Amino acid sequence: MAPTIVMFVNRKSGGQKGVRIYEEFHSLIGDRCVYLDDGASLGIQQCVQVLEQSEEYKKLIESVDLSDPDHKFVSTENILRCVCSGGDGTVSWVLGEMDKSELIPKFVRIPVAHLPLGTGNDFARATGWGGGYDGGSPKQILQKVQNASAVRLDRWKLSVKTLSDGVSKEFPFHNYISIGCDAAVAYGFDDLRRRKPHLFTSRARNKLIYIGQGALVTFTGKGGLIRKKVQVSGESVQKTMEEDKIHTHEFELPMLAQSLVIENVPSYMGGADIWGKKGESVVCLPMIHTDPTKGRHAPPGGFQEQSLGDGVLEALTFQGPAQQGIASVVKSTARRVGQASKFHIECRHSRWYVQYDGEPLLFEDEKGIDVDVWLGRSASVLVNKS
């Protein structure tokens, strides 16, 4: 028996496409297709109703030994699956609302697929659902959701503390964070979109505006070199039969670095694989790659393959908007810095641009900021391989 599907639709994503998607899928799955206008509670209630009526779910719950503090989460992939239609932020928000719901046991994960609307959508690209929904057969999409593979997704926490007052702000992410010029570009783009929304009428025009913001950041120096202003350290865990050993690393940034990116999924800036499955790009020859396990900052055992759910993040740098533009066009990579399961970043300057999953922020503090990144709750997501 195929798993039941519940669908969350963000009406505000992708212009009027959210409304059209709701109408198309509601005709197939009825009230299990819901808008997110009033929050995720209606969709979560639909999920709970499906689970409570399932004998297989009851057996699944009974199989968990709650007395074992190390018990792993269980997935409802054979019983219930969800689809989030919207941008990357929609998926992140729905996963967060599921975490907070008291109706779903904390050890239960409902696997989620992403039907992308709008632009960017790095999470949808990384999980095989493409960069944007342009129409298609709703029946075929539901079939792909039922046939997709459920995998673990690491979800992370970002904390930014302003040093003058010691105040910290915390943000969740599962795609990436970045500090420096690319975050400055994203901040300028977002600010302009809020002030002059009539300029943003198509994907092509949006890209041209983004390129213009990159040029503006370059010529105004809003990014600038960060090596002397930023110190990066990380922790990695080596699992042994006896105990887990924690190793601390000090990561040296390249001389010309203008952006630091810490990434969880193999998609950035709308589909660029900046870590590189084939290895790091050779300088000046971006189409040629090195051994994927090697690099100037590779540990003795070499770099491990990037994964959504290995408890490890990848740190990289860009030299500026121009190098980022090249990476997005010819599929070259950024410069590899290292891998770790926890990062601490000291930023000593009065003005810092930071972004997480495409959400740009500006921090102004005369003493600078401290940034910490650590692993949060995991989720179950659906990867389309068809």
Can you give the pLDDT at residue 241?
64
- Residue 262 CA, chain-centre distance (Å), reads 10
User: Which amino acid is it at 378?
Assistant: S
Q: Compute the chain's Rg from CA coordinates.
A: 21
Can you give the pLDDT at residue 69?
65
Q: Which residue has the tokens 């950041």?
A: 217
Print pLDDT tens along the chain (386 aa).
899 999 999 988 876 788 999 999 999 999 999 999 889 999 999 999 999 999 999 999 998 887 766 668 899 999 999 999 998 989 999 999 999 999 999 999 999 999 998 777 899 999 999 988 877 899 999 999 999 999 999 999 999 999 999 999 999 999 999 999 989 988 998 898 889 888 877 777 877 888 888 888 877 777 788 989 999 999 987 766 667 778 888 999 999 999 999 999 999 888 888 898 765 654 544 444 455 555 555 666 678 889 999 999 999 999 877 777 777 666 668 889 999 999 999 999 999 999 999 899 999 999 999 999 999 999 999 999 88
CB contact at 8 A, 354 and 332 = no
- Please give the domain boundaries of the chain with CATH numbers for all domains: 4-147 (3.40.50), 156-377 (2.60.200)
| Spatial separation of the C-alpha atoms in residues 292 and 275, rounded to whole Å | 9
Can you give the pLDDT at residue 288?
45
Can you give the pLDDT at residue 277?
75
CA separation (Å) from 250 to 12, 37, 247, 337, 344? 43, 45, 10, 10, 10
Tokens of 288: 């040629």
CB contact at 8 A, 381 and 111 = yes
